[in-house]
Amino acid sequence: MNPDLMSQLRDIHAAAPVPWWPPAPGWWVLALLLLVLLGWLGRRLLARFRVYQRRKQMLGWVEHLNANIDPRRDPQAYLSTLNRIFKLVAMRAFPNQQCAALNGQDWVNFLIENMGKSPSAESLGVLATGPYDPAPTFDPQLMSELTRNWIRQHG
How does pLDDT run across 120-139, given as a tens digit for each residue? Answer: 878 888 888 888 888 888 89
Supply the pTM of this predicted model: 0.76
- Model pLDDT, residue 1: 59
pLDDT digits (tens, 9 = 90+) for 61-97: 999 999 999 999 999 999 999 999 999 999 999 988 8
Yes or no: say if 112 and 121 are a contact pair by the CB < 8 Å rule: yes
**What pLDDT, on a 0 to 100 scale, did the predictor assign at position 28?**
95
Q: Distance between CA atoms of 147 and 132, rounded to whole angstroms?
A: 20
**Alpha-carbon distances, residue 36 vs 25, 28, 40, 41, 47 (angstroms):** 17, 12, 6, 9, 17
pLDDT of residue 91: 92
What confidence tens digit (pLDDT) does each residue in 4-54 have?
A: 887 888 888 888 888 888 888 999 999 999 999 999 999 999 999 999 999
pLDDT by residue (tens digit) across 95-121?
888 888 888 899 999 998 888 777 787
The alpha carbon dihedral of 84, 90, 95, 99 has a sign of: negative
Q: Does residue 56 surpass a pLDDT of 70?
A: yes
